């Protein structure tokens, strides 16, 4: 699906890429640091 709400998209990204991500390994993988 597609996220059409800018606020929702930003929130989802912050969950995984923010300073306190839900999962450090996933953040590293999404940033190509694995």
Residue with token string 């923010």: 18
What does each of the 34 residues of the chain score in pLDDT, given as a tens digit?
888 999 999 998 888 889 998 899 989 998 899 7
Res 1: pLDDT: 82
Q: What single-letter DSSP state applies at residue 31?
A: T
Res 30: pLDDT: 84
> Containing domain of residue 29, as a range?
1-34
Does the pTM exceed 0.75?
A: no
Q: Which two tokens stand for residue 33?
A: 């640091």
In this structure, are residues 27 and 14 in contact, taking their beta carbons and an 8 Å threshold?
Answer: no
In this structure, are residues 14 and 24 in contact, taking their beta carbons and an 8 Å threshold?
Answer: no
Res 13: pLDDT: 87
Residues in the chain: 34
Res 7: pLDDT: 96
Res 5: pLDDT: 97
Query: Cα(18)–Cα(24) distance, rounded to whole angstroms?
Result: 10
Count of domains observed in the chain: 1
């Amino acid at each position: 699906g597609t996220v059409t709400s800018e606020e929702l998209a930003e929130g989802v990204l912050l969950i995984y890429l923010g300073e306190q991500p839900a999962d450090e390994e996933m953040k590293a993988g999404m940033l190509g640091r694995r």
